[in-house]
Amino acid sequence: MLDGLVVYVILCPELFDRDGSPYGDTSGVDWLDNDVRFARLGLAAAELAAGSRDLDWRPDLLHLNDWPSALAAAFLNWRNIPTPTILTIHNLAYQGLFGAERLPVLGIPESSFRVDGVEFYGKLSFLKAGIYYASHVTTVSSTYAREITTPELGCGLDGLLRVRSSQGRLTGILNGIDGTWGPDGLPASQRPVRPSSSCDWTGKPFKAEHVRQAFGLAVSRGPLFAVVSRLVHQKGIDLTIQATETILREGGQLVITGRGEARFEMALQELAFRHPGHVGVRIGFEEAEARQMFAGSDFLLMPSRFEPCGLSQMYAQSFGTLPVASKTGGLADTVEDGVTGFLFEESSLAEMLGALYRAVDIYASPQKLKAMRRAAMQRRFGWDRSARKYCGLYEGAIVRRAG
């Protein structure tokens, strides 16, 4: 690696050398042996933690992420290996559930298949195993750490997570973004003009026109709304579709990029067909295009039903684009209502429209809009603060093990 870090790779072609994603084939269907594939990943991490004869070092701690690596914490426990583990939950909705009959194949002791163990409503849960056996659990925002201890957003694991919270073993640490996500990360021709009394210092008009041309939209002086997201129910894409008529009536335009559920992809394409020149849709994702959308749009729509952290709202603010977002998870932690964006309490069309109207009103008030853009661009979402918090957790876990 360029940064000098050594990367260890599991070489097992029969498990991992396949076309498609890490989780499924090219058509998006999960691999039938995902339990074996990711149990082997977890076991490899546990074996490293136990100390390998081929290495002259052993880790002080394992940091695991989501269900694909969560079983490592359980393997360590079952083998009485004292290496501490931190498990980060990026999205509690994905739990790695498999049939109980798979326990022998995966090398999981039958005695662990109980409520105080890996059992989850009659199934084996990789994520629950990680939560139960890990030394400490983190999530990717403080608000989400609280939300997952409730029945509404706990995905059936809220009871165990409340116990971990009461033990001081559940912490929310916000994700960060790298410094290239912002005006200085754009090509020189797309960077904003620096502050001047005679121009829009963010360079929005120029960059908005670039986005409009890319998506085939008409020339307009109205607000440009954007969606850069997975097209799934969690992200509230259905609410965005329902709100589109209002956006257009208010003189706005809408550009959307992303990939997800077929029903939403088709509905968005139909929306663009009905409103040529005013709605532009690109099914797929290209980072360069996403950066241009963040740079050129006035508002970013994120009506998520839940959002563990979210990165798009942080990218958007770095470019002076104001999020219109539901007040949940990392959105609540990173968007200041009325200062750097617009938050609404519930994921409903009525609540979303209320925030949209506020955004349109601000757009019609240049000085207020300018002040909000400045405030948004002054926010800092780097990894420095988060890294310090993780270091604190690492040190605490290692000290407790030594004690």
Residue 7 belongs to some domain of the structure: no
In whole numbers, what is the pLDDT of the chain averaged over residues? 93
Indicate the pLDDT class of residue 188, thresholds 50, 70 and 90: very low
| Diameter over CA atoms, the chain | 73
Residue 337, classified by CB atoms within 10 Å of its CB into exposed (0-12), middle (13-18) or buried (19+), is middle
- The SS3 of residue 280 is strand
Do 138 and 105 lie in a common domain?
yes
Q: How far is CA 146 from CA 139, 142, 383, 389, in A?
A: 9, 7, 22, 17
On the CB side of 79, how many CA atoms lie within 13 Å of its CA?
Answer: 18
As a whole number, mean pLDDT of residues 259-288 equals: 96
Please give the Cα distance from 112 to 390 (Å, whole number).
29
Residue 222 belongs to some domain of the structure: yes
Identify the CA nearest to 317 among candidates 304, 328, 330.
330
Domain of residue 232, residue span: 203-377
Do 112 and 39 lie in a common domain?
yes
Q: Bigger pLDDT: 10 or 217?
A: 217
Task: Please provide the DSSP assignment of 306-355 as one string.
Answer: --SS-SHHHHHHHTTPEEEEES-HHHHHH--BTTTBEEESSSSHHHHHHH
Indicate the pLDDT class of residue 32, thresholds 50, 70 and 90: very high
Look up the pTM and report it. Answer: 0.91
Q: Are strands 299-302 and 224-228 parallel, antiparallel or unpaired?
A: parallel
Torsion angle in degrees (nearest 10) through CA of 375, 328, 345, 153: 180
pLDDT for the residue numbered 198: 38
Spatial contact of 186 and 318, defined as CB atoms under 8 Å apart:
no
Count of structural domains, the chain:
2
pLDDT for the residue numbered 187: 53
Residue 294 belongs to some domain of the structure: yes
Please report the beta strands in 219-353, taking only residues with DSSP state E, as ranges in sequence order.
224-228, 253-258, 279-283, 299-302, 322-326, 342-344
pLDDT for the residue numbered 81: 93
Indicate the pLDDT class of residue 403, thresholds 50, 70 and 90: low
pLDDT for the residue numbered 53: 67
Query: 108-148, pLDDT tens digit by residue?
Result: 999 999 999 999 999 999 999 999 999 999 999 999 999 99
Do 60 and 156 lie in a common domain?
yes
Identify the CA nearest to 65 among candidates 87, 45, 42, 36.
87
Residue 216 belongs to some domain of the structure: yes
Do 45 and 105 lie in a common domain?
yes
Identify the CA nearest to 61 among candidates 83, 40, 78, 76.
83
Do 28 and 99 lie in a common domain?
yes
Identify the CA nearest to 371 among candidates 401, 399, 336.
336
Residue 116 belongs to some domain of the structure: yes
As a whole number, mean pLDDT of residues 172-178 equals: 94
Location of structure tokens 């999020």: 323
As a whole number, mean pLDDT of residues 267-274 equals: 97
Q: Is pLDDT above 60 for 196?
A: no
pLDDT for the residue numbered 62: 96
Query: 81-103, pLDDT tens digit by residue?
Result: 999 999 999 999 999 999 999 99
Q: Are strands 123-125 and 97-99 parallel, antiparallel or unpaired?
A: antiparallel
pLDDT for the residue numbered 7: 87
pLDDT for the residue numbered 189: 47
Spatial contact of 217 and 277, defined as CB atoms under 8 Å apart:
yes
Do 258 and 344 lie in a common domain?
yes
Structure token pair of residue 86: 């931190």
**How close are the terminal C-alpha atoms of the chain, in Å?**
35
Sheet with strand 62-65: strands edge to edge:
62-65, 85-89, 136-139, 170-172
Spatial contact of 81 and 47, defined as CB atoms under 8 Å apart:
no
Residue 186 belongs to some domain of the structure: no
Q: Residue 367's domain is classified under what CATH number? A: 3.40.50.2000
- The SS3 of residue 109 is coil
Across 50-64, 265-279, 306-320, 357-371, least confident range:
50-64
Helix (H), strand (E) at residue 377: helix 366-377
As a whole number, mean pLDDT of residues 8-32 equals: 92
Structure token pair of residue 162: 């409340």
Do 371 and 396 lie in a common domain?
no
Identify the CA nearest to 302 among candidates 337, 327, 319.
327
